[in-house]
């Protein structure tokens, strides 16, 4: 159902293959045909789609766009909330170089996005995302946009397709982060905001602005204790989420951190890495212990509170978008944090979960592990004697997440180094244990 079975697919005359997270489309451009397979909700069903005159296909996590540049037309399919419905969009003068997806927005600071003809602000609804921008026309003339810069979305969600003509104010200059010499995308993010230099993105759309205070975490614990009674002593983050966090998110339509902080959003100062299967009371106590000597308590980033929790798994998937773990909200929030706190527990090995492994790998790439005091470890070293960690054995709710993470580590050549750090952190004897 996720595209792993292509038996019966005729690949003759195929000129290109494209994918969402759970579906594929094979384009036969010369024949004006296309064939899709995989999850229908992610674009795996393209029956009824006319592929005649298609010049390019673009995708988000769960939707496709087929552009017919010569005709000034485009057709979309897949999940409507992820860009699968583009009815009413005017594609005249849109070219391949003027189309990007939300999953690539962090690279705008390093790339010039252009259109071969002027595009007016009335074409689509507008959202400010850059300090300044230019439009490159077909004749080579470059004209300035207003100082705010403009981009056009449909619909306005994290996974939506974006048609833009944006060149950010200044190129994002990646500088060595926290003592490292590497200058990759993550390092670049650590020196600006999560969108390179697109600093006018509203705070509520930036994952690092979904932190809570230590007091608010303790309040959540007290609410859970009162609601669960005796059952609280064995409750995990899963139960607390189902009982308190998720219902609040579904009721208010925003993350728990945004609910409790209203207009006064808190920026992450300490990123918390933990496993949801831990005992919730133990989790909270470990965090309190870690900051007991701090006169001023930090704002903490906890994924359960920072993401919009939902009973619909697609809502979570659309926020995470598993194609590139460097662009996941976890990574972007970590890049903006000052410290990285690993919270272990007695119930489940933290590094039996792929995203927990990735968070430490990302912390290494960002330079946290090279700077004194940037990495903290709390909780008991219960699984210290279990032998070396192998990230390839870690579990994942979404297998495509695991594939993307392993692919990145293998390509970067940091697979073995990551395993060594995972083993070391798991075995560390923390004073707070």
pLDDT value for 373: 92
Q: Mean of the pLDDT values across residues 321-333?
A: 85
Mean pLDDT of the chain: 78
Closest of 406, 391, 403, 399 to residue 352, by C-alpha: 391
Closest of 276, 315, 267 to residue 79, by C-alpha: 315
Query: What confidence tens digit (pLDDT) does each residue in 166-181 have?
Result: 333 222 222 234 444 3
Closest of 185, 182, 160, 55 to residue 108, by C-alpha: 185
- Helix (H) / strand (E) element for 38: namely strand 33-38
pLDDT value for 162: 40
Query: What confidence tens digit (pLDDT) does each residue in 120-146 have?
Result: 322 222 222 222 333 233 333 333 333
Measured between its terminal Cα atoms, the distance across the chain in Å is 44
- DSSP conformation class of 184: S
Whether residue 158 is predicted with pLDDT greater than 50 in this model: the reply is no
pLDDT band at 154 (very low <50, low <70, confident <90, very high): very low
Say how far apart CA 345 and CA 383 lie, in whole Å.
Answer: 9
pLDDT value for 106: 31
pLDDT band at 366 (very low <50, low <70, confident <90, very high): very high
Say how far apart CA 9 and CA 14 lie, in whole Å.
Answer: 11
3-state SS class at 110: helix
Q: Two tokens at 92?
A: 């005249």
Say how far apart CA 216 and CA 210 lie, in whole Å.
Answer: 12
pLDDT band at 52 (very low <50, low <70, confident <90, very high): very high
Closest of 127, 126, 107 to residue 202, by C-alpha: 127
Whether residue 192 is predicted with pLDDT greater than 70 in this model: the reply is no
pTM score: 0.64
Query: What confidence tens digit (pLDDT) does each residue in 341-365 have?
Result: 999 999 999 999 999 999 999 999 9
Say how far apart CA 164 and CA 179 lie, in whole Å.
Answer: 35
Say how far apart CA 154 and CA 65 lie, in whole Å.
Answer: 12
pLDDT band at 323 (very low <50, low <70, confident <90, very high): confident
Neighbours of 420 (CB within 10 A): 14
Q: Two tokens at 345?
A: 């527990």
pLDDT value for 397: 86
Query: What confidence tens digit (pLDDT) does each residue in 208-234 have?
Result: 999 999 999 999 999 999 999 999 999
Cβ contact 97:76 at 8 Å = no
Cβ contact 86:75 at 8 Å = yes
pLDDT value for 121: 29
pLDDT band at 322 (very low <50, low <70, confident <90, very high): low
Say how far apart CA 171 and CA 422 lie, in whole Å.
Answer: 34
Residue owning tokens 């230099």 = 197
Which region among 176-190, 203-217, 415-429 has the lowest average model confidence (pLDDT)?
176-190
pLDDT band at 96 (very low <50, low <70, confident <90, very high): low
- Helix (H) / strand (E) element for 400: namely helix 399-412
pLDDT value for 98: 52
What's the maximum distance between 2 C-alpha atoms anywhere in the chain? 73
Cβ contact 59:70 at 8 Å = no
């Amino acid at each position: 159902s996720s595209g792993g079975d292509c038996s019966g697919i005729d690949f003759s005359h195929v000129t290109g293959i494209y994918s969402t997270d759970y579906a594929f489309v094979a384009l036969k451009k010369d024949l004006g045909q296309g064939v899709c397979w995989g999850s229908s909700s992610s674009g795996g069903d393209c029956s009824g789609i006319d592929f005649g005159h298609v010049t390019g296909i673009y995708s988000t996590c769960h939707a496709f766009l087929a552009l017919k540049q010569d005709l000034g037309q485009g057709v979309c399919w897949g999940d409507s909330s992820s860009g699968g419905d583009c009815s009413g969009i005017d594609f005249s003068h849109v070219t391949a170089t003027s189309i990007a997806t939300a999953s690539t927005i962090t690279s705008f600071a390093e790339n010039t996005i252009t259109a071969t003809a002027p595009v007016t602000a009335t074409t689509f609804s507008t959202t400010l995302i850059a300090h300044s921008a230019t439009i490159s026309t077909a004749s080579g003339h470059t004209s300035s946009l207003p100082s705010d810069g403009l981009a056009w979305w449909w619909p306005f969600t994290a996974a939506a397709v974006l048609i833009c003509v944006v060149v950010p104010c200044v190129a994002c200059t990646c500088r060595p982060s926290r003592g490292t010499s590497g200058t990759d995308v993550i390092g670049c993010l650590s020196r600006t905001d999560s969108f390179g230099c697109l600093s006018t993105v509203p705070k509520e759309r930036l994952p690092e602005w979904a932190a809570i205070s230590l007091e608010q975490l303790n309040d959540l614990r007290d609410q859970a204790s009162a609601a669960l009674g005796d059952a609280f002593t064995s409750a995990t983050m899963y139960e607390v989420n189902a009982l308190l966090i998720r219902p609040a998110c579904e009721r208010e339509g925003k993350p728990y951190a945004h609910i409790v902080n209203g207009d006064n959003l808190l920026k992450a100062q300490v990123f918390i890495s933990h496993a949801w299967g831990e005992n919730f009371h133990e989790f909270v106590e470990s965090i309190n212990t870690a900051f007991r000597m701090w006169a001023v308590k930090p704002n903490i980033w906890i994924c359960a509170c920072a993401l919009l929790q939902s009973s619909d798994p697609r809502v979570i998937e659309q926020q995470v978008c598993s194609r590139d773990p460097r662009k996941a909200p976890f990574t972007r929030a970590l890049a903006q944090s000052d410290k990285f706190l690993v919270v272990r527990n007695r119930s489940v090995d933290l590094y039996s979960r792929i995203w927990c492994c990735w968070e430490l790998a990302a912390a290494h790439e960002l330079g946290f592990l090279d700077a004194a005091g940037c990495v903290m470890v709390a909780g008991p070293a219960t699984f210290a004697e279990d032998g070396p960690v192998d990230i390839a054995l870690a579990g994942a709710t979404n297998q495509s997440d695991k594939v993307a993470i392993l692919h990145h580590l293998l390509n970067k050549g940091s697979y073995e180094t990551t395993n060594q750090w995972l083993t070391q952190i798991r075995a560390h004897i923390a004073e707070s244990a």
